Amino acid sequence: MFETLFPILFLVGVAAFIAVAMAGASIVFGRRTSEGAKYEPYESGIKPKGDTRGRFPVKFYLIAVLFILFDIEVVFLYPWAVIYQKLGMFGFVEILVFIVILLIGYFYILGKGALKWE
Amino acid sequence: MPDYNLRLIIPEIFLFLWALFIIAFDLGTKRKNPKLIGYLTMGGIAATAVLLYLYHGGISFNNMFKSDPLALFFKVIFLGSAFMAVGSSFDIIAQKIKNHRGEFFGLVLFSTVGMMFLASAGELISLYIGLELTTIPLFILAAYYKDDRISVEAGLKYLVIGAFSSAILLYGLSLLYGLSGTTDIVMMKINLALLYLNTNGIGWALLMAIVMVLAGIGFKLALVPFHMWAPDVYQGAPTPITALLSVGSKAAGVVAFMRIFIDGLYGFADAVMFPLDWGNIVAVLAAAAMILGNISALRQKNIKRMLAYSSIAQIGYVMVGMVAVSELGVGSVGYYMFIYLFANMGAFAVATIFNDNTGSDSIASYAGLSKSSPMISAFMAIFLLSLAGIPPLAGFAAKFFVFAAGIQAGYTWLVILALLTAVVSLYYYANVIKMMYFAPDNPTIKLNTPLSANIVLIIGVAGLIIFGVYPEPILNFALDTARVFGF
Amino acid sequence: MLDLIIFYFAAVIAVGAAVMMIMQRNPVASVLYLVVSLVAQAILYVQLNALFVGALLIIIYTGAILVLFLFVIMLLNLRGEHFGGKQSRMGRASKIAITVILFAEMVAIFKQVAIPERIGTQAAAVAEDFGSVEMVASHLFKEYLYPFELTSILLLVAIVGAVVLAKRDKTEKMEDA
């Protein structure tokens, strides 16, 4: 258990170290000033007008949803890839059916022009 | 390599491919032929029924897909409701849906495929995926008038409630899996009984599983107290979709209920199992559904809302047969749903036609309809009287068998309540008829019906009269489905 | 011992972040708390030997679905102030009541089901590599082949649905004009 997870834990440790080190270094070595301009989203440049949280058009959403659906499809491929040699031809046909059905979905998206940026 | 017996799922595969074909055809012909794709869809459904007749009987995929009489019986109901929903939506497609016409029919077919997979599920995961495949297309279809606020509201409400209830159902199913160690329903029945006998500590966990599964399926069935979404969704969705929701998706919920409760939790229906006796819990919910549905329907001014509350009450009557957990109980529920298909699809078809011609859903606007459109008024009267359970229409026989099953199982109080509320229901059904026939003449509009809608109306009326006068074949078929549960 | 410490650490974070999530008035902050909660839950899954589920929780939920949540929040431009004033006392009381009932039921279940010797038998019944990717895969692709294929139909329907609901065709504008 621990052995299999060690690489991941190591990676997490390295990531945490880098993050802490960077933030810590700027605290230790940095010079601190506190002027009004420091607290604005963009310190140097034009004064911000309004809010950063504008409304998104729905087309962004469509792309995101389609991405997630194919992402979920890919998730099924991971376990398949792990035991693909044990499954042999049977597993190949199985995953082929799965992918072909989703490929129909992909062609549908293309046919509808849902990926066109209007 | 195990025998997968793929032959048995040919009808489902065909219908799925047909749905793809409809979408592709519409895409390829640039939405020029709404009528043609409508008829193609109806043809595809009819062809699926033929395939179902040719390929049924047996199990495949290690008991996960069961092509037994119960599945066959309910698949006929699903196909019938899809057929009639498609048939009554031609004018809507032509007038209101400029875009995505093929997808409208395609999604109806996808939902029907989901119902068919659900009816055949012998295992919890397939059952859950079948249920999702049934409801996800319906979320989209409910919101199909994208520019109409109340349609979008209907879709959103249905989505939120549907997702929420799925989560509850899934939690309940996972508890069942945790207790029994299997997802196979028949194995689950055995394991749960053994566990119950061998350990005396599963009471609360099983109770929670039962309540969660009941709540999850209760939402799909619009059983009180899980009904609050139904009136708004029924009102906002395109009317043929409302009809499909009220018949097809409800019948799917009924069959899911049967598979899980009557089969998997068979041992726990009895009052002896207190507090695990789901029979009594369901009986109380059925009573609440009949009272609340019928009384709320009295006050409705909108025909779709009225039919929504009426369908809440109707599911209460269905549950009277369900709690009997007997041959007659299962058979009468099947028969009831079969008759309900004709009556409710018919009534919604008339509401669709009326709305297409007048743009109104209010009951008051039906005033004087019998003068301008005597045929359609007569049909509507037959549908409503059958829903109310007036002999010699089939609705009477359906109620009769359900109540008989209830009395046989000792739920006399529930049947008395059902009879009383049935009398109340007569009032609001008759109110529409009174409007059509006896209201002082309004400026009336002649209703134009497309051919396909006429076919739907004729199927509905013919079904109600034929199976009302001569119920034996369908009743025998329905009673035969009870064999699945070993009754 | 280390296992127990990790468990309590992750469990407290998971529950605490979930509570914080529903307390927020700013929906973006809610989503971020949900991310924290899900990561902590992933740790719990890994502790249960369910490596695959833990990884899925990170890849799918925190990686993709929560990004979509943020999208939707920005799409609708939701702010705290859009959620109206305070809830009615009845609404709040009923929510608390339901939560308490559910919690009591959970406690009752665990008191009945999870007595130590039975936990022992359950753990023995489950093989060492029960939640590993290989085991999940061989269940999924052998026994549960049928629901697996159905999933692809479900995803296809979701694709069609997303396009139907979110796509505005040019033809629509032309026909409307």
The CATH code of the domain that includes A45 is: 1.20.58.1610
What are C's interface residues with B at a Cβ cutoff of 8 A? 105, 108-109, 112-113, 115, 118, 125, 143-147, 150-151, 153-154, 157-158, 160-161, 163-165, 169, 171-172, 175-176
| Beta carbons of A114 and C163 less than 8 Å apart | yes
| Beta carbons of B107 and C151 less than 8 Å apart | no
Q: Which residue of B has its CA nearest to A105?
A: B20
Long-range contacts for B150-157 (Cβ within 8 Å, ≥24 apart)?
B150/B232, B150/B235, B150/B236, B151/B236, B151/B237, B151/B238, B152/B236, B153/B232, B153/B236, B154/B232, B154/B233, B154/B234, B154/B235, B154/B236, B154/B237, B155/B236, B155/B237, B157/B229, B157/B232, B157/B233, B157/B236
Q: Does the pLDDT value for residue B188 go beyond 60?
A: yes
* Mean pLDDT (whole number) for B205-232: 90
In a domain, A48, yes or no: yes
Q: Considering only A5-9, A91-95, B8-12, C73-77, which range has the smallest mean pLDDT?
A: C73-77
| Beta carbons of A108 and B27 less than 8 Å apart | yes
Spatial distance between the Cα atoms of A69 and C156, rounded to a whole number of angstroms: 9
Q: Chain B: nearest CA to A12, how far in angstroms?
A: 32
Interval C151-169: pLDDT, tens: 999 999 999 999 998 887 6
In a domain, A50, yes or no: yes
Q: Does the pLDDT value for residue B202 go beyond 90?
A: no
Sign of the alpha-carbon dihedral angle for B68, B72, B78, B83:
positive
pLDDT for A43: 58
DSSP-assigned states of every residue in C55-100 = HHIIIIIIIIIHHHHHHHHHHHT--GGGG-SPPPHHHHHHHHHHHH
pLDDT for C175: 42
CB B324 within 8 A of CB B408: yes
Q: Considering only A7-16, A18-27, B267-276, which range has the smallest mean pLDDT?
A: B267-276
| Beta carbons of C157 and B133 less than 8 Å apart | yes
Q: Does the pLDDT value for residue B458 go beyond 90?
A: yes
Residue C38 has what DSSP assignment?
H
- pLDDT confidence tier of residue B201, bands split at 50, 70 and 90: low
Asked if the ipTM is above 0.85, the reply is yes
pLDDT for C85: 61
CATH class of segment(s) C2-129: mainly alpha
Interchain contact B13–A (C-beta under 8 A): no
| Beta carbons of C172 and B205 less than 8 Å apart | no
Interchain contact C150–A (C-beta under 8 A): no
Q: Does the pLDDT value for residue B56 go beyond 80?
A: yes
Nearest to residue B256, comparing CAs of B171, B129, B167, B137? B129
pLDDT for C128: 66
Which stretches within B258-392 are classed as H helix?
278-298, 303-324, 327-358, 369-372, 374-388
Domains: count for chain A: 1
In a domain, A9, yes or no: yes
Arithmetic mean of pLDDT over chain C: 80
Interval C100-147: pLDDT, tens: 988 887 787 777 665 544 544 454 456 667 778 888 888 889 889 999
Pick among B23, B30, B133 to test the A interface (most A CBs inside 10 A): B23
| Beta carbons of B27 and A111 less than 8 Å apart | yes
SS3 B450: coil
Q: Which residue of A has its CA nearest to B31?
A: A112
Q: Considering only B1-5, B13-17, B210-214, B291-295, which range has the smallest mean pLDDT?
A: B1-5
- pLDDT confidence tier of residue B274, bands split at 50, 70 and 90: low
Which residues in chain C are closer than 8 Å to A60, comparing Cβ atoms? 71, 75
Highest average pLDDT, of A22-31, B23-32, B413-422, comes from: B413-422
- pLDDT confidence tier of residue B196, bands split at 50, 70 and 90: confident
* Mean pLDDT (whole number) for B12-40: 90
Interval B65-119: pLDDT, tens: 999 999 999 999 999 999 999 999 998 888 888 778 899 999 999 999 999 999 9
Compare CB distances from B20 to A90, A104, A112 and report the shortest one's residue.
A104
Spatial distance between the Cα atoms of A112 and B276, rounded to a whole number of angstroms: 52
Interchain contact A113–B (C-beta under 8 A): no
Domain that residue A101 falls in: 2-112
Inter-CA distances, B293 with B306, B422, B430, C46, Å = 9, 11, 16, 48
Spatial distance between the Cα atoms of C134 and C51, rounded to a whole number of angstroms: 10
In a domain, A117, yes or no: no
Spatial distance between the Cα atoms of B324 and B333, rounded to a whole number of angstroms: 10
Where do the domains of chain C lie?
Answer: 2-129
Nearest to residue C161, comparing CAs of A39, B323, B19? B19
The end-to-end CA distance of chain A, in Å, is 51
In a domain, A118, yes or no: no
pLDDT for B163: 92
* Unique residue bearing structure tokens 């004033």: C85
In a domain, A12, yes or no: yes
Interchain contact A105–C (C-beta under 8 A): yes
Q: Considering only B246-255, B309-318, B375-384, C79-88, which range has the smallest mean pLDDT?
A: C79-88
| Beta carbons of C166 and A65 less than 8 Å apart | yes
Per-residue tokens: B360: 């109104």
Burial (0-12, 13-18, 19+ Cβ within 10 Å), B92: buried
CB B55 within 8 A of CB B10: yes
pLDDT for C177: 33
Which residues in chain B are closer than 8 Å to A108, comparing Cβ atoms? 23-24, 27
Question: Percentage of chain B surpassing pLDDT 70?
Answer: 97
**Which of B469 and A100 is assigned the larger pLDDT?**
A100
Query: In this structure, which amino acid lies at residue C126?
Result: V
Kindly report the length of chain A: 118
